């Protein structure tokens, strides 16, 4: 989603560094005792907290990311930390090199044509794997404002080539790719009805960043390919920038209300964890 860098990436980095609930889910999925175990984090992003968690449980953490800036941030987050700049579809590791590979919110953002190769690479390098993705079908609310935001965010996900519902089908996809079902399990996590409008204000901000990033990518690729910019796409993205900015300010206002009693709750997307 954020391969081109720039402002949008900066704001997404800030958001990803604040992830709390996804870390709780990852923590539940990893063994309490990791003494002597090697844990690879594929598509690790900028957040150093999984590394800290693994090391606090006695494991050795290695981060990998295709984006050089992300790998560099991981490397700099702890003196002993190993970080690798590489692609999930060509992991520079030996067969079975890792006791555990953890891959969170990467599969859903990969181009669909690369997903099967990615799963085969994980199965080759990790003795155990845990793959976590969102299932946005569970992101629901009676609030028209939240509903409107979900529509805009879904449209953006589509334009960015992400599958926000990948978690819904990830187990089935992994089974089909590996041509087996034994030893493949699924667990779902949801925060239940919540009124945490600060978090969705952040998500709305990040979606605006994504829309701006998509506009830059379109302008840059048109210049590279010597073709006219797709004005229809630019206009659609302008509309989505305006809509997500509106959502952000509405959610921020709701978050700032002292009395939350009249606020309509929403259910977060599920995080689906598949192990194999």
Ligand X SMILES: C[S@@+](CC[C@H](N)C(=O)[O-])C[C@H]1O[C@@H](n2cnc3c(N)ncnc32)[C@H](O)[C@@H]1O
| Site residues for ligand X per CB under 6 A | 16, 19, 22, 43-45, 47, 65-67, 70, 87-89, 104-106, 109-110
Q: Which is nearer to ligand X, 8 or 145 (CB)?
A: 8
Q: Residue 61 has which token pair? A: 């953490």
Closest residue by beta carbon to ligand X:
45
Number of neighbours of residue 28 by Cβ within 10 angstroms: 11
If DSSP codes are grouped into helix, strand and coil, which group holds residue 58?
A: coil
User: From CA 155, how far away is CA 137, in angstroms rounded?
Assistant: 14
Cβ at position 267, least distance to ligand X in Å? 20
Residue placing its CB nearer to ligand X in the complex, 200 or 250:
200
Q: Minimum CB separation from ligand X for residue 99, in Å?
A: 18
Q: Bridge partners of 106?
A: none
CA distance 26 to 47: 13
Least Å from the CB of residue 77 to ligand X: 13
Nearest by Cα to 15 from 41, 45, 35? 45
**Closest CB to ligand X among residues 71, 143:** 71
Cβ proximity to ligand X: between 43 and 126 the closer is: 43
Residues 207, 213, 214, 220, Cα dihedral to 10°? 180
Whose Cβ is closer to ligand X: residue 150's or residue 164's?
Answer: 164
- The DSSP result for 144-163, as a single string, is HHHHHHHHHHHHHHHHHT--
Closest of 148, 263, 147, 139 to residue 190, by C-alpha: 139
Residue 123 CB, shortest distance to ligand X, in Å, is 16
Closer residue to ligand X (CB): 104 or 212 = 104
User: Cβ neighbours of residue 40 under 8 Å, at least 6 residues apart?
Assistant: 62, 63, 64, 93, 97, 98, 100, 101, 102, 125, 126
Distance of CA 117 to the CA centre of its chain: 18
Shortest reach from residue 260's CB to ligand X, in Å? 28
112: which residues sit within 8 A by CB, 6+ positions away? 161, 163
> To the nearest whole angstrom, how small is the minimum distance from the Cβ of residue 64 to ligand X?
6
CB of 268 to ligand X, least distance (A): 15
Q: Of 38 and 40, which CB lies nearer to ligand X in the complex structure?
A: 40
């Amino acid at each position: 989603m954020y391969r081109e860098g720039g402002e949008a990436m900066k704001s997404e980095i800030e958001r990803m560094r604040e992830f709390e609930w996804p870390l709780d889910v990852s923590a539940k999925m990893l063994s309490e005792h990791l003494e002597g175990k090697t844990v690879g984090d594929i598509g690790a992003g900028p957040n150093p907290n999984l590394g800290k968690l693994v090391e606090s449980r006695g494991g050795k953490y290695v981060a990998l990311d295709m984006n050089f800036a992300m790998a560099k941030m991981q490397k700099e987050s702890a003196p002993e930390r190993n970080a690798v700049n590489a692609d999930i579809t060509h992991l520079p590791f030996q067969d079975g090199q890792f006791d555990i590979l953890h891959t969170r919110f990467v599969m859903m953002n990969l181009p669909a044509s690369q997903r099967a190769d990615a799963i085969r690479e994980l199965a080759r390098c990790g003795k155990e794997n845990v793959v976590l993705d969102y299932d946005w079908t569970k992101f629901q609310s009676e609030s028209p404002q939240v509903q409107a935001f979900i529509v805009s965010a879904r449209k953006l996900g589509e334009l960015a080539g992400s599958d926000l519902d990948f978690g819904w089908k990830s187990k089935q996809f992994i089974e089909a790719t590996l041509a087996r079902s034994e030893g493949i399990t699924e667990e779902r996590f949801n925060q239940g009805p919540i009124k945490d409008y600060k978090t969705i204000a952040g998500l709305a901000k990040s979606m605006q960043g994504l829309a701006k990033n998509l506009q830059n990518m379109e302008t840059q690729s048109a210049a590279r390919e010597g073709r006219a910019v797709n004005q229809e796409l630019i206009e659609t993205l302008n509309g989505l920038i305006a809509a997500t900015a509106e959502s952000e300010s509405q959610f921020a206002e709701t978050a700032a209300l002292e009395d939350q009693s009249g606020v309509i709750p929403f259910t977060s997307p599920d995080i689906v964890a598949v192990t194999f």
